[in-house]
Structure 1
Amino acid sequence: MIEDLKEGTILPPVVIGIVTDANKYKKVKKGEITCEQLITDDAMEQLSIIDGMQRTTALMKAVSEKEEVNQRELRVEYWISDNSNSLLYRMLILNTGQVPWNVRRQIEIVFSGIVKEIKENVAGIEVFEIDDSAKRSKGGQYQADGLVELFLAFGARTWKINTKEKLTDEFTRHDFLQSSGETDLVRLFCEVLKCMVQMDILLDAKYKKKEENSGGKKKKVL
């Protein structure tokens, strides 16, 4: 695909999902503002690649090898919603099984909107993404892909999801979609996550205090 792009191949459209607030969503439906006006620097984290991850990766590689590719026009379609739930099913269907990057990076890119909502709505949480060099050192710190897996398991009403295999499972998709339709799944998940984060922080503080009181020495268990 990279060589084809360098030779001038025309790609199918890349589909971008945009989550915006209810007020802007109504204005878009009425034609008062355009899709392009929704894409500001502040809104970049609300964008997700719904379809076209492999094409995007190939395009970036082609541009790095031949600058002329960057001057060509690319068709982009926008799917707009005022609720991230309505885009989740499309993300699962169109992106599962496409692994232009490793699975962790794919998860973080596809579900970046969900990760952003978690950051905004769960007090005390600190989220590390794949390009961050930081590692968990205290309570309340989590990897973004781990939170997404937890969210998917929560939506599918199961205790664990193998993201590499089970995201394509029809039963998982059906249950996940059903849950999304019944309630504001992201909001409900954030409420549960708040409790988990608070408990994690409290247990971490208690453990560290116990270590300090014992002089920082751990007892050897035989």
Structure 2
Amino acid sequence: MEILTVDKDLVINGKYAVATTSYRDALDSLYPLIDRLEIQRKLQVTRFYKRLESDLVEGCIMPPLTLAFVDKLGPRVSTKAFGDFVAKNISKGFVLDGIQRLSALMRASKTVGFDDSRKVYLNIIVCESKDSLLYRMITLNNGQKPMTARHQIEILTDNLYQFDKIGLKSYLEKEKKPKGNVFKKADLVSAYIAFLSASTSIENPKVIESKMDQLIADKIIERGVSKNSIEFSEVADVIAKFAKDDDAFKWLSNANNLIGFVVGADKSILRLKSTSAPSFVGSIERFEEAFSQFDVSKIKLGRERRKMVNYFIENYGGLRTSSADEILIELSELD
């Protein structure tokens, strides 16, 4: 692999390089990275990719692939140092853009006349922030079919956030629920989407799924990474701490509570970090006492719960010791 140039991406605070490598090296080093993704979209063998296969055999230039790493490089990195980094860490990379093209390249390589010495061009991103990497992935692929912003996040969540390693145990709904305080994987993914979009409105049965996904992507892009004051990993650490308490876990395992919590935590993370699980349980008990005073026949329960939990957690510093009546007054004044 030859690194042609290295620059800095000021939006995601990462390094960006343009490189070339041979088709053979791409197949040997990059194609296996597809298997790193636990949740992978079905590979498309459409007329377009069939056409690309034959064009590759005939000698076309394939559109660049985008490779990414979650890591930290120094402020000034030479092309040689960048190349050494990629060579050493290639097995840890993610293909952000070009999975279908790599698959087409693999199929083309089995055709008589294929020249594996030809060059493929690469865009390589290295950034230390997992959230920034996902932001860049969405801005790269948003609007393309068949993968939506929600699916993109689902694909990388397991690899970027290994929840089990920080005590945040999870399981897939198709699996039998393990014993203990274990979250549904789908709920954690939904919470992450809510965090990235800074919105509790990430699901609406009245809106078709494709449009809802587009609205979510728009919110993530509109917010941008520069406005993210904290990393999701910080929120995950707090959730893991509280989830050791059975009562706190029971509350947080409610998907609406979890979504409201992660969105609100962006504004109160320092206070939440310094709060013990028993103290948190006491505060949410008072919140629940206040919330129970609302007439459920006159509100959309799930939406209002997400919104009110968000407000309560966002203002946790001032509301954590408030009485149920004081919390009720605050919540009743929300739009």
TM-score (normalizing by structure 2): 0.44
1:21-70 residue CA offsets vs partner (Å, 9 max, x unmatched): 3xxx00763567224424446x634x222332332333234335669365
* Counterpart pick for 2:182 among 140, 151, 158: 140
1:162-220 residue CA offsets vs partner (Å, 9 max, x unmatched): 67444433641245426x533222223313542575467966xxxxxxxxxxxxxxxxx
SS at match of 2:77: helix
SS at match of 2:125: strand
Give the structure 1 partner of residue 54 of structure 2.
Answer: 3
Give the structure 1 partner of residue 193 of structure 2.
Answer: 152
Q: Which runs of 5+ in 1 are unaligned?
A: 129-133, 204-222
Residues 14, 51 of structure 1: 8 Å contact kept: yes
Determine which structure has greater relative contact order: mean sequence separation of CA pairs < 8 Å that are 6+ residues apart, divided by chain length: 1
Q: Between the two proteins, what is the percent identity of the paired residues?
A: 22
Cα distance in 1 for partners of 2:249, 2:74 equals 42
Matches within 5 A, 1:67-216: 68=114, 70-99=116-145, 106-109=152-155, 111-112=156-157, 115-119=159-163, 122-126=166-170, 135-138=175-178, 139-140=181-182, 142-143=184-185, 147-161=188-202, 164-169=210-215, 171-177=218-224, 181-194=227-240, 197-198=243-244
Aligned residues: 190
Give the structure 1 partner of residue 104 of structure 2.
Answer: 58
SS at match of 2:134: helix
Q: Which runs of 5+ in 2 are unaligned?
A: 1-51, 204-208, 251-335
Which entry has the higher C-alpha Rg, 1 or 2?
A: 2
CA RMSD of aligned residues (A): 4.0
Residues 131, 232 of structure 2: 8 Å contact kept: yes
TM-score (normalizing by structure 1): 0.62
